[in-house]
Structure 1
């Protein structure tokens, strides 16, 4: 799993935020409408206003800060012990897809036909390849990785640390959380032990194992830098994840690999970095990855609850910006709560009567201050769950009940 990296084959095109305009902040959505978003086998590069089309071969080696010193009471060999125990369960995932492109229409001009005649091909095909990482979660060959590592792949191959190679079948993938499950036909495989990502605290040890830039079984160490980083904060507003931030080095090819604690338990799945920065890597909490993978293994797909709104947390500064912008189309008379910027037609929110300009102040009786509060509540109630909203609309309080719907499988405009 390459952390926000793209493999030598393909780049990712994550949506970037524009901090200079309030509308850029509205991208962390309850609806999160996205295209497939990820590249075939690269890592996911969450960046600010930068394209992710660079090749892995063009990546420059840069200085990485040294890992923090061991505490006095720590076993100096604890990283070695973790690697020896968990390393055999970390795999390399190679994927490829055939891309067909039609020749430009200009080549059908009679001028070119005089030179090439009927030999001029109408289509060209090329094979795109990429490499990521994954980890084995059961002895019968189920493997967790990032969705972008296998997205669009015609073929997937899994290589174990002992050199064995197996064709892989993608049981399912979920683009909203960037989690996928790959299955190989094998038995008695080494597996990882899963930890508790809900209990993480900044400053705890973090160990990453993966295959960055084709360098198999690479180990890096660092600490948990922060938890609960929203997808909007890291520049990937089309995702529904509260990320773990770590300074353990993550590079292209690490995507899908495990982030471990000092006991060797998996606490996250490495998935992204911020381009041009050092020590800013991000992992999907293992609790999220488990929840998604369980659905993928049992049904091949994932249901996400959604309301169908674009929203942004209000601040006094944002209120002033919106009200002073004649093109905003909105007027806000409070700076507390979550502003509804847009309501999708025929969405659960639209059917319940929610309007652009409404400010959500309480949800199921709990005060909300940012879009992530609302999104988390929607995920928690699930598809079909009921939500009671207390709104501020045109200077008065309004109460609405909304039943969460199922996130559409196709993008809605």
Structure 2
């Protein structure tokens, strides 16, 4: 009896187990995952993410670049230290109001060759009587000014030394928004200072110089830059130079989040010209342009917002000779897209007069490639050298403070040693004081050369005064006949 009872209960248990298994197979969701977790690990099935972002190490770039950045110290006399738009942008227009007779300045520079060539900003050394260069290891040298270009705010200086730690050049065209960069310089005389940030924007035109000849296509970064950083290096994560730190946007004169650097593609061309020719061989395409935006597109029924609009052409200029027409849209230069005046200037500035470049334009919605032979400021393709002022047939000297006071002028250079040349042919006499060429005020001898680089269509209009107080004006053309 007990055996039969036991067997009955066992049969019921087996039947119940079979029913449970059947119900499991029929009703449990077969999509449910079964996870086997090895010992020592935990697994989270929801909201799980893996951080795969690369870790940026800037220590190598910092270590390499600080050795190539120098401290540039300058000495000025009060008469020579004239107003400079880049200085005013940093410090305000009252920055020089209470200067002593001798003023000192401070900036940075970058060694670009082992034999002592150093690039810096023009506004760091402009008008200085003495340039002193202090290396990373505290050695100090007198710097010689090789050349300067106010239109890009770059200058080249040289020290007499060998085996210096030069900085390799990068490619600012290839740098992308968001890439990490370092700013290296000497802010507030704090030597060998390194700050980090990212590329915030490219091809910024700030209008600092206010001169139509100026080239501004800045790299914008949020790396901290302050007074004293000017002329220092903007480097990539490999420690390669991609820009020369030049300006900050600030209401206080100190860093407030925006800083700007001249891209190395411009630097390399300008410094190469200064080293070889003594001045920049500036190439011109000969167009006046407008950025294509929504308003322009609506005005001229342009179906796509891209490129730059050719608003006008210089008569006999490179673009006109090549067949570019008013109303064309320039899309790229040598394969590099251009969508603003700054971008077009930057691309053209890489070339020399006489170089042939390919320009992609759009005309009536049809694209075509046009070959353009670039020209110099005089309208030809010849090299312009530093001694090209010899054609004027005169030397120039500063005007004394006494003569300025007597004649009630605040600037000017005096014509001396007049000989056969352009000035004599136009009737200018020795002793004439030039205080303006076209719209450029003349404060020092170098301003004469710089002003002649800014002539339009070769025309020169000189304003000045003779020692007896008589004001005279002279006009002539620089354009040579080919």
Q: Which residue matches 2:453?
A: 410
Match of 2:270 among 286, 292, 297: 292
Secondary structure, aligned partner of 2:266: helix
- 1:361 equivalent to 2:329? Answer yes
Distance 1:209 1:374, change over 3 A: closer
Output the CA distance in 2 between the equivalents of 1:248 and 1:365: 31
Q: How does 1:277-356 map to 2 (within 5 A)?
A: 278-318=256-296, 332=300, 334=302, 338-341=308-311, 343=313, 347-348=317-318
TM-score by length of 1: 0.61
Q: CA deviation at 1:406?
A: 0.8
Alignment of 1:199-238 (within 5 A): 199-226=174-201, 228-231=202-205
Are residues 269 and 350 of structure 1, via their aligned partners in 2, closer, same or farther at CA, if it must alter by over 3 Å?
same
State the structure with more CA Rg: 2
The residue that corresponds to 1:94 in the other structure is: 73
The answer to whether 1:253 aligns with 2:224 is: no
Task: Extract unaligned runs of 5+ from structure 1.
Answer: 1-70, 102-123, 324-331
Aligned pairs, how many? Answer: 304
Separation (CA, whole Å) in 1 of partners of 2:248 and 2:63: 26
Q: Is the 8 A contact 1:208 1:249 kept in 2?
A: yes
TM-superposition CA deviations, 1:160-206 (whole Å, max 9, x none): 23332211111112223222211011223222233333332222221
Q: Where does 1:37-56 land on structure 2 (aligned, <5 Å)? A: none
Give distance in 2, aligned partners of 1:398 and 1:259.
37
Give runs of aligned pairs for residues 50-129 of structure 1, distance below 5 A.
Answer: 73-75=55-57, 78-79=58-59, 81-100=60-79, 126-129=101-104
SS of match in other structure, 2:328? strand
Looking at structure 1, the residues matched to 354 and 238 of structure 2 have their Cα atoms a distance apart, in angstroms, of 39
171, 177, 184: which is aligned to 1:196? 171
Q: Deviations over 1:96-117 (max 9, x none)?
A: 333439xxxxxxxxxxxxxxxx
- Residue number in structure 2 paired with 1:384: 354
Structure 1 pair 377–302 and aligned structure 2 pair: CA distance change class (3 A): same
What are the Cα deviations for residues 23-50 of structure 1, in whole angstroms up to 9, with x where unaligned? Answer: xxxxxxxxxxxxxxxxxxxxxxxxxxxx
Structure 1 residues 245 and 374: CA distance shift in structure 2, 3 A: closer
Higher RCO (CA-CA < 8 Å; seq separation 6+): 1
Note closer, same or farther for the CA distance 1:173–1:203 as it changes in structure 2 (3 Å cut): same
**Cα distance change, pair 345–98 in 1 and its aligned pair in 2 (3 A):** farther
Provide the secondary structure at the position in 2 that maps to 1:291: helix
Query: What SS is found at the alignment partner of 1:180?
Result: strand
Matched, 1:268 2:238: no
1:187 counterpart residue number: 162
Distance 2:151 2:295 in 1: 30
Q: 1:261 to 1:399 in 2, by over 3 A?
A: closer
Extract unaligned runs of 5+ from structure 2: 1-52, 81-98, 379-451, 457-482
Between the aligned partners of 1:346 and 1:92, the Cα distance in structure 2 is 46
Q: CA deviation at 1:401?
A: 7.7
Q: Is the 8 A contact 2:144 2:157 kept in 1?
A: yes
Q: CA deviation at 1:262?
A: 2.6
Alignment of 1:129-140 (within 5 A): 129-140=104-115
Change (3 A) 1:205 1:127: same
- CA distance in 2 between partners of 1:368 and 1:286 (Å): 18
Cα distance, 1:342 vs structure 2? 5.2
1:345 CA drift (Å): 6.4
Separation (CA, whole Å) in 2 of partners of 1:152 and 1:365: 37
Q: Specify the SS of the correspondent of 2:184.
A: strand
Matched residues in 1 for 2:175 and 2:346: separation? 18
- 1:221 aligns to what SS in structure 2? strand
Cα distance in structure 2, aligned partners of 1:267 and 1:309: 28
- 1:338–1:359 contact (8 Å) kept in structure 2: no
CA distance in 2, matches of 1:284, 1:188: 26
